[in-house]
Amino acid sequence: MSAVFYKQWFKPVNETRTPNKNAEHIRYIGTRPGAIKNEGEKHGLFGNLYDSDTLEVKHKIKDVMNIVKKKSEEGKNIFRSVISFSPENAAIKVGEPITKEAWQELIKQQIRIIAEGNNIKMSDFKWVAAAHNTPSHPHVHIVFWDERQEIRKNWVNPKVPDKIRGKLVKNIFEDELKEYYEKRDEKKYLLRDITNEMTGEFEAYLDKMSKREYSTLTDAEFFSDKPDSQFCKYLAQRLFEIRKEIPKGSLKFEYLKPDVKDKLISLVRE
**pLDDT tens digit string along 4-37?**
899 999 999 999 999 999 999 999 999 998 899 8
Q: What per-residue confidence (pLDDT) applies to 258?
A: 84
Q: In this structure, are residues 158 and 173 in contact, taking their beta carbons and an 8 Å threshold? A: no
The tens digit of pLDDT for each residue in 208-222 reads 766 666 556 555 444
Query: Looking at residues 185-209, what average pLDDT do you find?
Result: 63
CA 238 to chain centre: 40
Per-residue pLDDT tens for 168-181? Answer: 988 888 887 777 77
Calculate ∠ Cα 77-82-88, nearest 5°.
Answer: 170
Q: What is the domain partition of the chain in residue ranges? A: 5-172, 196-269
| % the chain with pLDDT above 90 | 39
Q: Residue 112: is its pLDDT beyond 80?
A: yes
Q: What is the pLDDT of residue 52?
A: 59
Topology of domain 5-172 in CATH is BirA Bifunctional Protein; domain 2 (3.30.930)
- Is the pLDDT score of 159 beyond 60? yes
d(CA 79, CA 129): 12
**28-to-43, 76, 77, 174 alpha-carbon distances in Å:** 10, 20, 18, 32
Instruction: Provide mean pLDDT across the span 92-111.
Output: 87
Place 38 in a pLDDT band, splitting at 50, 70 and 90.
confident
Q: What is the mean pLDDT of residues 68-77?
A: 96
- Asked whether the predicted pLDDT for residue 72 surpasses 70, the reply is yes
Residue 224: predicted pLDDT: 46
- In order, the DSSP letters of 19-32 are HHHHHHHHHHHHHS
- Please enumerate, as own/partner, the contacts of 9-18 that have beta carbons within 8 Å and a separation of 24 or more: 9/79, 9/80, 9/81, 10/77, 10/78, 10/79, 10/80, 10/153, 10/156, 11/78, 11/80, 12/154, 13/72, 13/75, 13/76, 13/77, 13/152, 13/153, 13/154, 14/152, 14/154, 18/72, 18/78
Q: How far apart are CA 35 and CA 61, in angstroms?
A: 13
CB 8 within 8 A of CB 50: no
| pTM tops 0.85, yes or no | no
